[in-house]
Structure 1
Amino acid sequence: MELSAITLDCADPLALADFYHRATGLPPHPRNHAGFAGLQREGGLLLGFQRVDGYRAPRWPGQDVPQQAHLDFDVDDLAEAEARLLALGATRPEPQPDPGRFLVLIDPAGHPFCLCPRRAV
């Protein structure tokens, strides 16, 4: 068994795919449409975004509307990555649970995601 896709619910799949495309550089899937959009490296994992009628954004850090899932991204420079993502439409919630180890941001559809300093291997 091999994981082939991770899909996030949202109100506007094309807009959320555009945010993550600009954030990661992953190429858009060739068959994107208003109900479902995705980003995918050739032969790689699909990051998908599906339209859900009545979508309610997660409320992080509270759990009135649970986050359900989140994405982690390794970055070389936390400050640079944060500034770039905020300019693309992400927001920074407070409080931050462990700012020395990772930074939580919220995408335009309300999903929390983490920026983690890249570690030397």
Structure 2
Amino acid sequence: MALVNASFVVLDAVEPEKLAVFYTELLDGEQTDISLDQVEIRGADGTRLAFRRDAGAIPPSWPRAENNQQVHLDFLVEDLDEAERRIIGLGGRALETKDMPGPYEERVYADPAGHSFTLRPVPSTTSE
């Protein structure tokens, strides 16, 4: 039996309820717990996130070095264009991604509170 079990990635936000709605919709999930200062969700695939109230939260300003991204989430998607439309519709925004290193096509976005996250295509299961 594990001594410690991983539980959540927690993102700070001025309005955690609004951020929870964004990710609940994005991940086709459900809110699993709401307290005065934190909202927890579980995505349809089991991804667990929490959003903690921090009245002084300052959005990361990636890619600027003076206030780097601090943490980011990666999500695998079947269709990058469809996922982008959904993100924008939910209030997210695209971030500058040209010259991004990496072996995959990827796109970087910010949620409504400014946290960055990356979309990557689901890896191919066919052998070449």
Q: TM bucket by the smaller chain?
A: 0.7 to 0.9
RMSD: 2.0
* 3-state SS of 1:59 partner: coil
Mark the runs of 5 or more structure 2 residues left unpaired by the alignment.
none
Residues 48 and 108 of structure 1: CA distance in aligned 2, closer, same or farther (over 3 Å): same
Q: Which has the larger radius of gyration?
A: 2
Question: How do 1:3-42 residues align onto structure 2 when only pairs under 5 Å count?
Answer: 3-29=6-32, 31-40=33-42
TM-score by length of 2: 0.83
Q: For 1:43-63, what per-residue CA distance to the aligned partner results, in whole angstroms no more than 9, with x for missing partners?
A: x55300001121100001112
Greater displacement, 16-25 / 86-95: 86-95
Residues 24 and 71 of structure 1: CA distance in aligned 2, closer, same or farther (over 3 Å): same
The residue aligned with 2:121 is 117
Residue 88 of structure 2 is aligned with which of 86, 89, 106?
86
Letter in structure 1 aligned against 2:5: E
Q: Which of the pair is proportionally richer in strand?
A: 2
Q: How many residues align?
A: 119
Instruction: Name the CA distance, whole Å, in 1 between partners of 2:36 and 2:26.
Output: 20
TM-score by length of 1: 0.88
Greater displacement, 68-77 / 1-10: 1-10
